[in-house]
């Protein structure tokens, strides 16, 4: 179970080889654990090892039916359908997605896959055998025999998600701390109308923050491909499921080096650019004929328009990248008082992300706050903090 937890942590961090190793070790101890096969299939998929991903998904399906767990059957069939799609068995993928729909009709990721699979099927000429469904509801694969009787704690651990596995027979102190492991479930799913998205980039990566409180890691679906990104999770209210899909992304990415993590207030997704230095103007792009290198422009281009970052200013959203670039071009950096010298010297040696944070915090606070932490000031208004005995006034 310890290897399963380590595998989930490595998978979330994008360390795919490490995740595969841990899940393999977990399965060597309990080769009947459906969740371990599903998780290793996910890791194989993100590492572009498609055959292994499908093999694990099909084993998970057979074992899930043997267990009679509707939830495990649903998750295993979904992973199987995704794997079939990526080895270009589109008719089979469509067939299995229909099975998932029967088990989970409210899954809002399915319409996204309907479009993707439908587009591929329409490209296949009539009469082509690729249009024939060859998959069955339960794959005809041989399941591994139990190598040795599992220890009782390991068997009990199979009943819960690997990421939440707890030590067998925990002492009172450990039991008391258990609720803190999964605060999102205690808080309940987020409200759809309160979910927001912001993003920023550097030469190597694009970071997307989905601002949503209480998202359950187990219920979250993030599918990262070289040119697409899909995100979905349950919400409160009538919408049942929130989902967004970027198809295609503005430029190509490396899915094997991309990663995501779930925090108490947001989901952070870090996409590794396939071509360093490409400046994204938006998260989603439009397919361009004849462009094989991915959309976007080199960051050295003079007409690049950087993303507009969130602000509550009455003048609207501000492009802090542009403000930072304009400030660097000014020739009077040696003018001004001592505080100006300090700001400008600090600014010149800062990273682009730190420069954005400095410009935003200094401008919005009326010069009373200076921060280099973009993760802290990027998604909120920086309020003035005047010295003691003074009062901030708006003009």
Establish if 173 belongs to a structural domain: no
Mean pLDDT, residues 301-318: 45
Q: Are residues 160 and 231 in the same domain?
A: no
Q: Are residues 354 and 272 in the same domain?
A: no
Establish if 263 belongs to a structural domain: yes
What's the total number of domains in the chain?
3
Q: Are residues 332 and 359 in the same domain?
A: yes
In this predicted structure, the answer to whether residue 300 has a pLDDT above a threshold of 80 is no
Establish if 177 belongs to a structural domain: no
In this predicted structure, the answer to whether residue 322 has a pLDDT above a threshold of 90 is no
Establish if 297 belongs to a structural domain: no
Strands 221-224 and 196-201: unpaired
Q: Are residues 218 and 363 in the same domain?
A: no
Q: Are residues 147 and 209 in the same domain?
A: no
| Between residues 126 and 354, the one the model is more confident about | 126
Please identify, among 286, 318, 352, the residue that sits at the C-terminal boundary of a domain: 286
3-state helix, strand, coil in the chain (%, to 5): 45, 15, 45
pLDDT at 271: 93
Q: How far is residue 95 from each of residues 102, 133, 279, measured CA to CA in Å?
A: 11, 7, 39
Establish if 333 belongs to a structural domain: yes
The H or E element that residue 262 is part of is strand 259-262
* This prediction's pTM: 0.48
Q: Are residues 278 and 309 in the same domain?
A: no
Q: Within 13 A of 117's CA, how many CA atoms are on the CB side?
A: 25
Mean pLDDT, residues 305-317: 46
Q: Are residues 222 and 156 in the same domain?
A: no
Establish if 82 belongs to a structural domain: yes
| Between residues 368 and 9, the one the model is more confident about | 9
Please identify, among 286, 319, 350, the residue that sits at the C-terminal boundary of a domain: 286
Establish if 362 belongs to a structural domain: yes
Q: Are residues 18 and 130 in the same domain?
A: yes
* pLDDT band for position 184 (cuts 50, 70, 90): very low
Residue with tokens 């969740």: 35
* pLDDT band for position 391 (cuts 50, 70, 90): low
Among 283-287, 289-293, 299-303, the range of highest mean pLDDT:
283-287
Task: Please state, in angstroms and rounded to a whole number, the distance separating the CA atoms of residues 57 and 83.
Answer: 8
Q: Identify the three-state secondary structure at position 241.
A: strand
pLDDT at 387: 60
Among 68-82, 137-151, 322-336, the range of highest mean pLDDT:
68-82
Show the beta-strand stretches assigned E in 202-258: 205-211, 221-224, 229-234, 241-246
DSSP state of 387: P
| Between residues 160 and 283, the one the model is more confident about | 283
Task: Please state, in angstroms and rounded to a whole number, the distance separating the CA atoms of residues 32 and 91.
Answer: 29
In the predicted model, what is the mean pLDDT of the chain?
A: 75
Q: Are residues 205 and 151 in the same domain?
A: no
Please identify, among 240, 257, 286, the residue that sits at the C-terminal boundary of a domain: 286
* pLDDT band for position 90 (cuts 50, 70, 90): very high
Q: Identify the three-state secondary structure at position 362.
A: helix
Q: Are residues 18 and 146 in the same domain?
A: yes
pLDDT at 301: 40
Establish if 235 belongs to a structural domain: yes
Task: Please state, in angstroms and rounded to a whole number, the distance separating the CA atoms of residues 78 and 51.
Answer: 16
Give Cβ neighbours of residue 318 (< 8 Å, ≥ 6 apart).
308, 309, 311, 360, 363
Q: What is the pLDDT of residues 127-168, one digit of tens each?
A: 888 899 999 999 998 888 775 433 433 333 344 343 333 344
Residues listed for the chain: 395
pLDDT at 287: 54
| Between residues 67 and 159, the one the model is more confident about | 67
Q: Are residues 267 and 332 in the same domain?
A: no
* pLDDT band for position 241 (cuts 50, 70, 90): confident
Q: Are residues 43 and 145 in the same domain?
A: yes
Residue-number span of the structural domain to which 32 is assigned: 2-167
pLDDT at 393: 57
Q: What is the CATH number of the domain that holds 239?
A: 2.60.40.790
Mean pLDDT, residues 164-185: 42
């Amino acid at each position: 179970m310890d290897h399963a937890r380590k595998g989930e942590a490595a998978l979330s961090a994008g360390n795919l080889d490490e995740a595969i190793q841990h899940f393999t070790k977990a399965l060597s101890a309990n080769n009947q654990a459906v969740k371990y096969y599903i998780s290793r299939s996910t890791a194989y998929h993100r590492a572009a090892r498609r055959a292994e991903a499908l093999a694990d998904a099909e084993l998970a399906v057979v074992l899930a039916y043997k267990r009679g767990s509707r939830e495990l059957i649903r998750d295993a069939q979904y992973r199987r359908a995704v794997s079939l799609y990526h080895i270009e068995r589109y008719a089979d993928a469509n067939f299995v997605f229909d099975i998932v729909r029967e088990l989970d009709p409210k899954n809002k990721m399915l319409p996204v896959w309907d479009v993707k699979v439908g587009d591929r099927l329409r490209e296949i000429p009539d009469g082509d055998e690729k249009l024939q469904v060859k998959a069955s509801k339960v794959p005809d694969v041989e399941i591994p025999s139990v190598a040795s009787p599992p220890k009782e704690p390991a068997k009990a651990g199979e009943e819960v998600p690997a990421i939440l596995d707890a030590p067998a027979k925990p002492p009172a102190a450990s039991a008391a701390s258990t609720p803190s492991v999964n605060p999102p479930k205690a808080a309940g799913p987020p409200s759809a109308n309160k979910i927001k998205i912001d993003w920023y980039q550097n030469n190597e990566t694009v970071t997307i923050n989905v601002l949503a409180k209480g998202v359950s890691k187990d219920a979250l679906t993030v599918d990262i491909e070289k040119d697409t990104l899909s995100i979905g999770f349950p919400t409160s209210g009538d919408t049942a499921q929130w989902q967004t899909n970027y198809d295609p992304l503005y430029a190509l990415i490396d899915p094997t080096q991309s990663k995501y993590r779930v925090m108490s207030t947001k989901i952070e997704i870090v996409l590794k650019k396939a071509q360093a230095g490409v400046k994204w103007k938006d998260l989603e792009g439009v397919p361009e004929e004849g462009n094989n290198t991915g959309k976007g422009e080199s960051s050295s281009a003079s007409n690049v328009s950087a993303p507009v970052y969130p602000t509550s200013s009455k003048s609207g959203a501000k492009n802090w990248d542009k403000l930072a670039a304009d400030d660097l071009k000014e020739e009077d950096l040696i003018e001004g008082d001592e505080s100006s010298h300090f700001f400008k010297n600090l600014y010149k040696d800062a990273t682009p992300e730190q420069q954005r944070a400095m410009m935003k915090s200094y401008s919005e606070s009326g010069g009373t706050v200076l921060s280099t932490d973009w993760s802290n000031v990027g998604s909120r208004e920086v309020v003035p903090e005047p010295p003691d005995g003074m009062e901030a006034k708006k003009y």
